[in-house]
Structure 1
Amino acid sequence: MTDLLYSDPDLVQFYDIENQGRTDLNYCIGLAKNGGSVLDLGCGTGQLAAELAAGHSVTGVDPASAMLDVARHRAGGHKVDWVEADARTVRLGRRFDLVLLTGHAFQVFLTGEDQSAVLRTIAEHLVPGGRFIFDTRNPAMKEWLEWTPQRSERMVAHPGLGTVKAWNDVEHDPATSVVTYSTFYEIPGGRQVLGAESKIAFPAKDDLAAMLDEAGLLVEQWLGDWQGEAYVDTSPEIIPIGRLR
């Protein structure tokens, strides 16, 4: 599951720039307002984990060392217990009041077997009465149609490199619901083009519901976006919130 977008420091430097103003961070901070311990699976560069560490005991787990290098050096990063591990197999030997898996990290797990393994990890790390939340894009909305070079081209303001042209390209496999997309950054002055190919899955809500039940997790609420709206068939997101059954 090595993906240069998350493992190559030259590409990781663009992650936070491209993910500013994430509404999932605000929602999860509100969800954790009653305190307690938090496990952030797929914590990436640690934006959410570091913010939560101001008032919680937080553990951040990610398989990409380049992402964790950024996480450790961000403001508040010293308060988080960072663990380099795979969400499918990690077992920390403790349970948490809240388990998070945001930033569409669930979608990097391409098969039902891998997705079920992640859900079992969530179940293994929840205290009785604890809550979980994660997000995945709604396949019915076909967001990947916007990831063509023409529709995705954008200018990224990098603090050291200046203005960088970025774009994506995409292929969708309807048989597996797996989308393969490429991300490119053209360094100013024609010096080089950085690129990476990534694969993500778009599981359907009914399939998620069955896997959650099998993992021993009870969904109390299905959200359709990070503003807190209830899920409907045309929602952009599928966001289950729940607890152990």
Structure 2
Amino acid sequence: MWHGEYRHPRLVEVYDAECPWGWDDDFFMAVLAEHSAPRVLDLGCGTGRLAIAMAEAGHAVTGLDPSGPALDAARRKPGAARVHWIDGPISELGNRTFDAVFLTGHVAQFFVSDQEWSSLLHAVRRALDLDGRLVFDSRDPAAAEWERWNPDESWRSVMLADGTTVEAWTEVESVRGDVVSLAHHYRFSDGEKLTSQGTLRFRTEEELRASLRAAGFHVDQVYGGWGREPVGLSGDGELIVIATALS
């Protein structure tokens, strides 16, 4: 199945267990606090961990995701009532609706074609008020993280909320330039096996900057790690972008 971690109820549970609060969440909350941003969109919010925290910090938060099972899990979490949840496309959000848009968890890489990515950026630009900020993360292709996506290095045992465990591992199916197709495998304690597939685009810093300029953004910062290290000087292998919407 395609991106099953957000679409299949059992895999949504695994995703939540594997993705607790981390350094990336601390970073995004710190960035949010740096400027006034009463209205926030968590675009591709998944199961809502960050959206709920932003709402608890006093922001009016909208969590948007096209995956119903992920949003169902988000709505069940404590504090979820503070967030306005939307199952649908960003085109439904109107113009100048938000002061900040966050696109986290490497969701930016799901937009594989140049047209998909450009359309998303233009939609975000329309949804942001003047001087509003777009904040997102994407893996740095120079780190070649996909080289470690093999059964030996990626195998792990995941404990779920009910105490049962799931064996999980990842393998790459193809690498075509900067496009990587992969499969995540899951084996549950009751014997069920599920596979989730996906394709990711690894854009360089220069490509990200150029695409943002073309969509009407000014790039304020690009960091290479969650400690705000320069690109290429941390072990995180990230491209963390903060951009401002221009008039």
Please state if 1:208 is matched with 2:208: yes
How big is each residue's C-alpha offset from its partner over 1:3-41, in whole Å with a ceiling of 9 and x where there is no partner?
Answer: 323111121111111112322211111122245111111
What is the correspondence of 1:213-224 to structure 2 with a 5 Å cutoff? Answer: 213-224=213-224
What is the correspondence of 1:1-20 to structure 2 with a 5 Å cutoff? Answer: 2-20=2-20
Structure 1 residue 240, shift from structure 2 partner: 1.3
For structure 1, list consecutive stretches of 5 or more residues without a partner in the other structure: none
Structure 1 residue 2, shift from structure 2 partner: 4.9
Q: Is the 8 A contact 2:5 2:14 kept in 1?
A: no
Aligned to 1:36: 38
What is the aligned counterpart of 2:156 among 126, 129, 154?
154
Report the 3-state secondary structure (helix = DSSP H, G, I; strand = E; otherwise coil) of the residue aligned with 2:24. helix
Structure 1 residue 163, shift from structure 2 partner: 2.1
Structure 1 residue 92, shift from structure 2 partner: 3.4
Report the 3-state secondary structure (helix = DSSP H, G, I; strand = E; otherwise coil) of the residue aligned with 1:50. helix
How big is each residue's C-alpha offset from its partner over 1:135-178, in whole Å with a ceiling of 9 and x where there is no partner?
Answer: 10001111011110111001111122512211111134233x21
Residue 139 and residue 130 in structure 1: after superposition, are their counterparts in 2 closer, same or farther (change >3 A)?
same
Instruction: Please provide the CA RMSD for this pair.
Output: 1.8
Q: Is the 8 A contact 2:182 2:197 kept in 1?
A: yes
1-structure distance, mates of 2:23, 2:142: 21
Structure 1 residue 129, shift from structure 2 partner: 2.2
The number of residue pairs the alignment matches comes to: 242
Aligned to 1:115: 117
Report the 3-state secondary structure (helix = DSSP H, G, I; strand = E; otherwise coil) of the residue aligned with 2:93. coil
Q: What TM-score do the two structures reach when normalised by structure 1?
A: 0.92
Structure 1 residue 183, shift from structure 2 partner: 1.1
Structure 1 residue 244, shift from structure 2 partner: 1.4
Q: Which moved more, 1:228-237 or 1:18-27?
A: 228-237
- Percent of residue pairs bearing the same amino acid type: 36
Structure 1 residue 193, shift from structure 2 partner: 1.2
Q: What TM-score do the two structures reach when normalised by structure 2?
A: 0.91
